[in-house]
C-alpha cells in the first residue's frame, strides 16, 4: 500500500447490510424474491413519502382552484356556466336590449315598431309602446342632484325599479328643412307614459342624449351655430345657444357628444358647448383642436385612464391617480376589457388606429411591457391571458409577455366579434360551414373546442343579462339562452 498524501488517511470500506438496506441482487435472482426481501419498515417510509408528495401536489392544486374560484366569484360580467351547450329559454320580437329594470327587460330595434318590455325570466310581454320606432331609446338615472353620468354602459346593468326612466326620441322632419325630435319618457317597469314633449332642432346637425336630458346642436338656415337642451324630467328647455355664422367645409358639418360636451365642426371652425349649461368651452369659433373625452376606465388601484381625441385624428391617453395627479400621458386608447378577473394587475392595454396591434403598459409608470401585432378593440383578461377577437380569429396572449399562447381561425359573422365567458370557457359566434351562424365554446386556457351548436338567430350578436344568462340578438329577434 502506498503512503497517503499529507492531510489524507487511508480508510478501509466495509459493506454491511442493515434492516433498512435492500441487499444487492444476486446473479439470476427473481425480482419477486427481491421485493420480498425489502423490510416492511422501508415500504412504510416509501409509502409515507409518496403520500406526502401526492398530498402536497393535491393541496397546491386545491388552493389554486379555490383561489381561481374566489377570483371569478368577484368578477363582474361573467355568464352562467358554459361547460355544456345552452338551451333556449325565451324569444321576443326585437333585436336589441336597452337594459333590465327590476324583472323587466326593455327591448328595442329591428323591423318591429316601438319599444317592448318583457319578463326577464320567461320573456312574456309586459307592455308595448310605439315610442322610439323612428329613433332610439335609452335609460336615464333619476334622483341625482348634481351632474354626472346618467346612463349605464352598453351591457345591460342590474337596475332597481325607480332608479331609472326610459326615454325615446323619434326624429321629426318638416317640409321647410327644420328638424327636431318627439321625446317620450316611460316608466320601464309598467310601460306607462310619464311625459311627452317636442323639441325643435337646427336644419343641419344632430340630436343626442346628455345628462338628464336631450340636446341638439347644428346650423340653422342662416348658417349660424345653434343649440338647445331639454330636461327629461320636466320637458322644459334649460338653455338655448345662438353662435357665429360659419362656412361649411368640403366635409360638411360634423357633430359629436361625450355626454359632458357637445362639439360642432365645420371647415376650420369648431364650437364646443358644455352640455349641462350651454356655455362655450374654450374660445368660440377657435381653430385650435378640440379635446373630446371618449372614455374613463377605472383602474384596480383606484386610478383612472382617460382616453380623448384631439381634433379629429389624434388619440391621447392620460392616466391619473385617484386624486387627479397625472401619472403619465401617451398616445392611444385604453381598451376596456369585456371581463377582467384581476389576474394581470397593473397591466393596461392600449390600441390605436395608427398603430397596428395591442400594446401593454405598466399602469403605474406607463413603461411598455410588450407589443403584439394581434389587432382587436375587444379583449378579455382571464387566467393570466389576454384574449383578443377579430373578424377572422381568436387569440390568447400571455398577459406578462405578450407571447401568443394559442390562436384559432374562427371567422366571425358580419354583426360582430363579441366574446362572452364564464371565466373558464369562451363563447363566440362564428360562421358555420353551411354558411349559417354557430355558437362556439372554447376552453380559455388552451383554445380547445368544447362544443358547437347552431345559433338561434342568423347574423346575430351576443349580450349577457344581469343574471348571467346569454342573449343572442339579431334578425328581428332576441333569444335568451341558459344551461
pLDDT digits (tens, 9 = 90+) for 388-415: 998 899 999 999 999 999 999 999 888 8
Whether the Cβ atoms of residue 217 and residue 273 lie closer than 8 Å to each other: yes
Structural domain count, the chain: 2
- 49 occurs within a structural domain: yes
Residue-range definition of the domain harbouring residue 36: 31-73
The full DSSP string for 142-205 is -S--S-S--S--SSPPEE-TTSEEEEEEEEEE-TTS-EEEEEEEE-TTT--EEEEEEEEE-SEE
- 47 occurs within a structural domain: yes
Global pTM value: 0.77
- 207 occurs within a structural domain: no
Confidence of residue 286 (pLDDT cuts 50, 70, 90): low
Q: How far is it, in rounded angstroms, from Cα 255 to Cα 401?
A: 40
Tell me the average pLDDT of the chain: 81
- 36 occurs within a structural domain: yes
First to last CA, the chain: 84
- 258 occurs within a structural domain: no
Confidence of residue 29 (pLDDT cuts 50, 70, 90): very low
- 327 occurs within a structural domain: yes
Confidence of residue 284 (pLDDT cuts 50, 70, 90): low
Q: Among the three residues 73, 98, 131, which one is the final residue of a domain in this structure?
A: 73
What pLDDT, on the 0 to 100 scale, is given for residue 312? 62
pLDDT beyond 50 at 281: yes
Confidence of residue 204 (pLDDT cuts 50, 70, 90): low
Q: Where are the beta strands (DSSP E) in 21-147?
A: 87-92, 97-101, 104-108, 115-119, 125-129, 135-141
Q: Phi and psi dihedrals of 223, rounded to 5? A: 80, 15
- 462 occurs within a structural domain: no
- 310 occurs within a structural domain: yes
Q: Phi and psi dihedrals of 82, rounded to 5? A: -110, 15
More confident residue, 165 or 32: 165
Q: Among the three residues 361, 376, 403, which one is the final residue of a domain in this structure?
A: 403
Which CATH number goes with the domain that contains 354?
Answer: 2.40.10.480
Q: Among the three residues 371, 403, 435, which one is the final residue of a domain in this structure?
A: 403
pLDDT beyond 50 at 365: yes
Amino acid at each position: 500500500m502506498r503512503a497517503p498524501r499529507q492531510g489524507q488517511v487511508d480508510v478501509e470500506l466495509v459493506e454491511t447490510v442493515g434492516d433498512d438496506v435492500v441487499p444487492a441482487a444476486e446473479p439470476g435472482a427473481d425480482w419477486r424474491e427481491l421485493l420480498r426481501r425489502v423490510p416492511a419498515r422501508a415500504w412504510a417510509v416509501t409509502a409515507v413519502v409518496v403520500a406526502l408528495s401526492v398530498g402536497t401536489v393535491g393541496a397546491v392544486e386545491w388552493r389554486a382552484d379555490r383561489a381561481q374560484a374566489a377570483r371569478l366569484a368577484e368578477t363582474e360580467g361573467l355568464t352562467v356556466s358554459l361547460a355544456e351547450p345552452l338551451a333556449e329559454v325565451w324569444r321576443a320580437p326585437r333585436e336589441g336590449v336597452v337594459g333590465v329594470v327590476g324583472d323587466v327587460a326593455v327591448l328595442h330595434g329591428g323591423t318591429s315598431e316601438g319599444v317592448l318590455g318583457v319578463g326577464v325570466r320567461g320573456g312574456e310581454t309586459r307592455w308595448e309602446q310605439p315610442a322610439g320606432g323612428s329613433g332610439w331609446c335609452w335609460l336615464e338615472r333619476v334622483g341625482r342632484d348634481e351632474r354626472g353620468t346618467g346612463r349605464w354602459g352598453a351591457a345591460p346593468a342590474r337596475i332597481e325599479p325607480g332608479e331609472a326612466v326610459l326615454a325615446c326620441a323619434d326624429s321629426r322632419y318638416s317640409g321647410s328643412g327644420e328638424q327636431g325630435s318627439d321625446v317620450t319618457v316611460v316608466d320601464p317597469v309598467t310601460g306607462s307614459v310619464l311625459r311627452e314633449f317636442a323639441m325643435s332642432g337646427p336644419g343641419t346637425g344632430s340630436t343626442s342624449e346628455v345628462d338628464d336630458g336631450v340636446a341638439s346642436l347644428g346650423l340653422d338656415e342662416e348658417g349660424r351655430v345653434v343649440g338647445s337642451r331639454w330636461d327629461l324630467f320636466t320637458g322644459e328647455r334649460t338653455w338655448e345657444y345662438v353662435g357665429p355664422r360659419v362656412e361649411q367645409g368640403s366635409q360638411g358639418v360634423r357633430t359629436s357628444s361625450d355626454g359632458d360636451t357637445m362639439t360642432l365642426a365645420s371647415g376650420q371652425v369648431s364650437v364646443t358647448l358644455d352640455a349641462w349649461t350651454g356655455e362655450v368651452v374654450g374660445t368660440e369659433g377657435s381653430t385650435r383642436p378640440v379635446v373630446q373625452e371618449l372614455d374613463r376606465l377605472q383602474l384596480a388601484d383606484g386610478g383612472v385612464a382617460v382616453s380623448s381625441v384631439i381634433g379629429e385624428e389624434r388619440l391621447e391617453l392620460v392616466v391619473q391617480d385617484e386624486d387627479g395627479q397625472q401619472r403619465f400621458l401617451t398616445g392611444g386608447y385604453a381598451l376596456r376589457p369585456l371581463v377582467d378577473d384581476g389576474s394581470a394587475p397593473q397591466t393596461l392595454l392600449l390600441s390605436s388606429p395608427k398603430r397596428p396591434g395591442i400594446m401593454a403598459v405598466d399602469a403605474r409608470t406607463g413603461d411598455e411591457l410588450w407589443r403584439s401585432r394581434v389587432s382587436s378593440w375587444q379583449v378579455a383578461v382571464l387566467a393570466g391571458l389576454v384574449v383578443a377577437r377579430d373578424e377572422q380569429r381568436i387569440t390568447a396572449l400571455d398577459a406578462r409577455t405578450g407571447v401568443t399562447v394559442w390562436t384559432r381561425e374562427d371567422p366571425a359573422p358580419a354583426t360582430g366579434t363579441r366574446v362572452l365567458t364564464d371565466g373558464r370557457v369562451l363563447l363566440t359566434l362564428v360562421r358555420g360551414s353551411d354558411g349559417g351562424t354557430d355558437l362556439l365554446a372554447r376552453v380559455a386556457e388552451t383554445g380547445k373546442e368544447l362544443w358547437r351548436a347552431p345559433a338561434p338567430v342568423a347574423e346575430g350578436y351576443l349580450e349577457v343579462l344581469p343574471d348571467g344568462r346569454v342573449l343572442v340578438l339579431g334578425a328581428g329577434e332576441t333569444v335568451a339562452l341558459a344551461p
